[in-house]
Structure 1
Amino acid sequence: MILGLGGSSNYKQMKIVSRPKEKSMSRFTDLQQQHSAWRNAHWEYRMNCSIYMNAFTNQFRKYIEAPEYYDDYSDGVDQPKKVKYVAVAEAEIKSDGFHKLTEIPATQTTATLVKADNGRWVAGIKLVVDMAVNSYPKSAYFFPIEFEIEGNICRMEIGGETGGQFTYDVSDPSGPHEAFDYMIGWLGGVYASKPWETSKKGPMGFVVNGSR
């Protein structure tokens, strides 16, 4: 005897509905998924590097103990504009390989990074130096930087191939100090020049005097 529900011999025959076989993923769909994962990974890496450039710049400002802002009255208004002494700069790679650096707008939080031929990100730091806080004239200096980050390891080049080369752990607060000392030393060389000596194009580009 075949027992059904409740042990009764009268049972209802259950209808088994088979599911249609799922259509296997097309080769193109598989490529789309790989492409999406690849794009997301590259976008995340680029954003993380851009955020690190901000952190590196802020660390440099604190290392040299520079004020954060100075008052800029160049627009001729009563209310001054707050301008950073140390700021992230975006790069435009020229055909001759020279990096044209421009300070990012105040409304922009991170620099838009561009890639050099060697695959490294290119950005920079703009440093304004004056004789005293909020005094004029001021001099602006741009430091072109190429870098890449693999895991926690940053490989950085400041001032082009003839400039400084640095490798350090980004999780170590003292990691970039050697790079900071290099930039300070370069400025020391500028300030050691004699008044009658012409400013020359060095590894950091031209010295901009009295820019603000």
Structure 2
Amino acid sequence: MDLKDRIIETSLTLFEQHGFHGVTVNQIVSESGTSKGGFYHHFQSKDELLFVIHDYFISYVLTKAKETIETNDHPTEKMQKIIKSFVKVFDIYKPHISVFYQESIYLKPQYVDAIKEKRQSYKAVLFDVIREGIEKREFRSELPVEITVMSILGMVNWSYKWYKKDGEKTIEEIADIYVDLILHSLLTEQTKKDARFKEYFLENHLTASKK
């Protein structure tokens, strides 16, 4: 692990235990086994460190979403892959997400603006996929695009509150459940019958496992 990541990992543990204002740069430096020079080489301030913690997980989902758009043709397939990568972020970056939502009120305005910009980019990808799905008649045309996107974001984002790595369901199983719920709501009846998308639904997972 390089120094930057070591500082982030240490700060995550400290912020979870003591809160953002309960931790000093000196504590982070001491616990991570570095110097103040080492800290300030990577971060201008504790505020920037909190911003970078958020940037790790929003950059991950945004990169995955853009890759999906570029490498898949069907809106249904795009949505399935976007949901899967979105859900997985709560496993890969669970400490980052918990700390961010707990401490984000302390961010300075310039960092809040940068975060909003990336979140808007992610929303824009979802808007484009929903619109494309409606235009290609894979998604139900009566669904309002904005409410649909905000519903998906709200439902999946709330996972950070209850997801546990040692819980009953793995993150893969949880992702499959979200895919099933969202696609059952989004897809037209005709699209649901399309053999190319059969594997996205839980009933077909169960059927396959019994064979």
* TM-score computed with the length of structure 1 as normaliser: 0.28
Higher helix share: 2
Name which structure has the greater RCO, CA cutoff 8 Å, separation 6+.
Answer: 2
* TM-score computed with the length of structure 2 as normaliser: 0.28
**Which one has a bigger Cα radius of gyration?**
1
